[in-house]
Amino acid sequence: LEKGVDPLGPDNKIIYMTGPLTGTISPSSGRFSAVTKSPLTGLWGEANSGGQWGRDLKRAGFDGIIIEGVAPRPVYLVVDHGKAELRDAEGIWGTSVAETTKSIKDALGKRFNVSCIGVAGENLVRYSAILNDVHRALGRCGLGAVMGSKRLKAIAVAGNQKFTLADREAFREAAKRASDFANESLLKMTLEVYGTAMVLDLVNVKGGFPTRNWQSGTCSYADAINGPAINEKILVGRKACFACPIACGRVIEVKSGKYACQG
């Protein structure tokens, strides 16, 4: 980037990038990153997300995507087994992440996986996120606003490209060793049981739990929302990103009241 580039201008870029192991059986390697000049800080902005989208970008035939410029009208990018094209997104502009994902899958087929912005990104909210697999987030540094500034609503990826490994058997053994190591770790055991809410009590004791928009670093009702409370009240399942033995993702259900939901 040139010095002084406007984070929400045409010359800023979003660089989506996978790693060399993304899409292989190597444990927890399905993640991917996106980087940009942040509209929130004016500095380097980077976020990392899980789910299945990184694997699906690799299967579509690409290690990464570099987005630059500004579209004259809302568009979304379709990447299908080595080919890419922009399509009109006027009909889905103004819809939520869940609605956008459903609309694109209805139009293209369920084999497509979607990374997209909601209305916050469209409206250039400087801390807005880009989400993939509906619930996984590139949640830092305002990447959603940069995507919105480019009038890019979503990137849908699909494909069945195979990976070439120099020594498949040696790779399988190394991946198993790494997986065994993860499975025996205390971190995995606690993440699997309580999800990332495992750290809630610790950060609360240390005064680092953001409460009432950081008016306080401790929360008086932490016991009601920590890992054990989630397990007892609303947990209905666990979910893993691609090839991850840890499965820290939570599937919850709030059965009644104004916050009733499932996901």
Closest to ligand SF4 by CB, 155 vs 241, is 241
Nearer to ligand SF4, 37 or 136 (CB): 136
Closest separation in Å from C-beta 149 to ligand SF4: 28
Closest CA to 241 of 8, 54, 12: 54
Residue 199 in contact with ligand SF4, rule: CB under 6 A: no
Q: What are phi and psi of 205, to 5 degrees?
A: -60, -35
Which is closer to ligand SF4, CB of 108 or CB of 240?
240
Tell me the closest approach of the beta carbon of residue 251 to ligand SF4, in angstroms: 12
| Sole window of 17-25, 93-101, 228-236, 240-248 interacting with ligand SF4 (rule: CB under 6 A) | 240-248
Maximum pairwise Cα distance, the chain: 55
Applying CB under 6 A, which of residues 28, 103, 113, 128 lies at the interface with ligand SF4?
A: 28
Q: Which two tokens stand for residue 87?
A: 């399509």
- The DSSP 8-state label assigned to residue 164 in this structure reads P
Shortest distance in whole angstroms from residue 50 CB to ligand SF4 = 4
Tally Cβ neighbours within 10 Å of residue 141: 25
Nearest to 50 by CA among 129, 136, 144: 136
Whole-angstrom distance, CA of residue 101 vs CA of residue 107: 10
Does residue number 246 form part of the binding site for ligand SF4 (CB under 6 A)?
yes
Residue identified by tokens 């568009």 is: 75
Q: Is 249 one of the binding residues for ligand SF4 (CB under 6 A)? A: yes
**3-state DSSP helix/strand/coil % of the chain, to nearest 5:** 30, 25, 45
Give the contact letters, 50-89, x = binds to ligand SF4 (CB under 6 A), - = no.
x---------------------------------------
Q: In what order do the strands lie in the sheet with 83-88?
A: 83-88, 75-80, 152-158, 113-116, 130-132, 136-138
Q: Which amino acid is at 242?
A: F
Tokens found for residue 251: 């599937």
Residue 248 is a binding residue for ligand SF4 (CB under 6 A): yes
Q: Which stretch binds ligand SF4 (CB under 6 A): 53-61, 74-82, 212-220, 245-253?
A: 245-253
Is 137 a binding residue for ligand SF4 by CB under 6 A? The answer is no
Residues that bind ligand SF4 (CB under 6 A): 28, 31, 50, 191, 240-241, 244, 246-249
